[in-house]
Amino acid sequence: MGNNKEKELIFEMSKKGRVAYSLSECDVPEVALDSVFPAEYLRQTPAELPEVSELDLMRHYTELSNRNIGIDTTFYPLGSCTMKYNPKINEDVARYAGFAKIHPYQAEETLQGALQVLYDLQTELCEITGMDEVSLQPAAGAQGEWTALMMIRAYHESRGENRTQVIVPDTAHGTNPASVAVAGLETVTISSDDQGNVNLDELRKAVGPKTAALMLTNPSTLGLFEENIVEIAKIVHEAGGMLYYDGANTNAILGITRPGDMGFDVVHLNMHKTFTGPHGGGGPGAGPIGCKKELVPFLPRPKVVKDGETYRLDYDIPQSIGRVKAYYGNFGILLRTFVYIRANGPVGLRRVSEEAVLNANYMMRKLAPYYDLAYDRVCKHEFVLSGRRQKKLGVRTLDIAKRLLDFGYHPPTIYFPLIVDECMMIEPTETESKETMDKFIDVLIEIAKEVEENPAIVQEAPHTTVVSRLDEVTAARKPVLRYRKALQEQAALQEEGSKVNEGVNV
């Protein structure tokens, strides 16, 4: 993780006269800028961007990268995020000039390769999810959720029905209720039963003539398959609602079961989870949606269609909700995921899910003697532990997560889902070997022992990272959200002044 010194900002490395760019000389006759723009439009004060040499720049970002960890660095069992290996060939293909250097508005006949990628991906995602059509436009899962909710709204409105309530279980991702709000609908939260399933009695009470949809993650964020899915679909459909599938956890079901077969009407997929779009430190992702035929007329436009042997963009969708993102989605990410699907085929994809689930169950049972299981049943691709046993000894799950950093691991997702006390959600994924999991299991067992024998070492963790725990309260109360040259110089001057004074005193 590099050294423990403070890392200077690139602005603090800046020195007038240094450059890290090389633009061609102007090869056209020049005119004065104030003959083009009225003087008042010309920038008065240049933007204070850094001035560094190319080597300075590379060292800066290399050092920053050394203060970061990714999947290639270490095991990253972050539940619900599916931190699986990101294949390198995906990166190569995305950089081919024929994919990277193409413009969204160039003529369709000059984009046949790209449109074919999109068309084939649409078709294959239909097959994988059991849906009738797919739109690749949404940029991320949350945008997919919102898009689908807008379609559901348009569907009900087209039938003259005023349905405004969306039922969301208490285990749902925060994006679900947030997307409901952005779609102008209202969230109705229902609880889970003691097995981690949707509480059917509550669901029956919640549905009615106002029900627009139920949003469900299956397997849930507890890593559990919703055993009553058939009954749930029946309850929602009989009430006239739509069933929405949050695809964050699709890694457990490839070739094993399909949302369409479970009774879902619409689904979003997080291509950056199940299908190896790299997480990129927070994005970009891709959040395609698939739907059954009732919702097809409302899909965003345009969509990619095939006429004979020609691919084209179809804008003629009269009932479409419109556009949700500029152009045609995050093509570069979609392309990477398509390469991944090609590398696996039907046999590989099924193995992906089988082995993801096997790995999760193996880890869960290995750790069960040392940490409490939130739900003692077979899990899918992830499982949830509770640190309540450790909490009694004064050690919080946050401490355990921080202690894992000392062993070089990225911790699991913590404190989510909200319904499990001192929650720790572990998702190993299928790309990790048994040896990697065994080592991690040993470390978690060792930490459990530390909690009993030497809790301070856990409570005060991390001990080996470039910074220790950070003051998040002050960060939020007195926000410093950007560097300001003037302020820094002032502070430096004051410091210098006080040093001079000290000098005098000596």
Q: How far is the CB of 504 from other proteins (least distance, A)?
A: 26
Nearest distance, CB of residue 361 and other proteins, angstroms: 6
Q: How far is the CB of 457 from other proteins (least distance, A)?
A: 15
Within 10 Å of residue 21's Cβ, how many Cβ atoms? Answer: 6
> Considering beta carbons, is residue 452 or 464 the nearer one to other proteins?
464
Tokens 């696996």 locate to 344
Q: Rounded to a whole number, what is the distance in angstroms from the first to the last CA of the chain?
A: 40
* CB of 283 or CB of 503, closer to other proteins: 283
Q: Is the CB of 25 or the CB of 505 nearer to other proteins? A: 25
Which stretches of 301-420 are assigned E, i.e. beta strand? Answer: 303-307, 310-314, 372-373, 383-386, 413-414
Q: Cα separation of 151 and 132, whole Å? A: 15
Shortest distance (Å) from residue 402 CB to other proteins: 7
- Smallest gap from Cβ 384 to other proteins, in A, equals 16
Beta-strand relationship, 211-217 and 186-190:
unpaired
- Closest to other proteins by CB, 392 vs 469, is 469
- DSSP state letter for 310: E
CA distance 223 to 52: 48
Q: Who's near 384: CB < 8 A, 6+ residues apart?
A: 79, 222, 223, 373, 374, 375, 417, 420, 423, 424, 425, 426
User: Closest CB to other proteins among 68 and 494?
Assistant: 68
CB 13 within 8 A of CB 56: yes
Tokens representing 423? 């929650």
CB of 453 to other proteins, least distance (A): 23
Least distance between other proteins and beta carbon 331 (Å) = 4
**In terms of CB distance, is 188 or 395 closer to other proteins?**
188
The residues pairing with 385 across neighbouring beta strands, listed in sequence order, are 373, 424
Phi, psi of 45 (to 5 degrees): -115, 125
DSSP letters, 366-393, are HHTTTSEESS-S--SS-EEEE-HHHHTT
Length of the chain, please?
506
Instruction: Pull the structure tokens for residue 264.
Output: 């879902």
> Coil, strand or helix: which one is 211?
strand
Report whether 441 contacts 366 (CB < 8 A). yes
Pairing relationship of beta strands 211-217 and 242-247 according to DSSP bridges: parallel
DSSP 294-335: TTGGGS-S-EEEEETTEEEEE---TT----SSSTTS-HHHHH
Alpha carbon distance 206, 295 (integer Å): 23
CA dist 292 and 95 (Å) reads 34
Which of residues 467 and 492 has its CB atom nearest to other proteins in the complex?
467
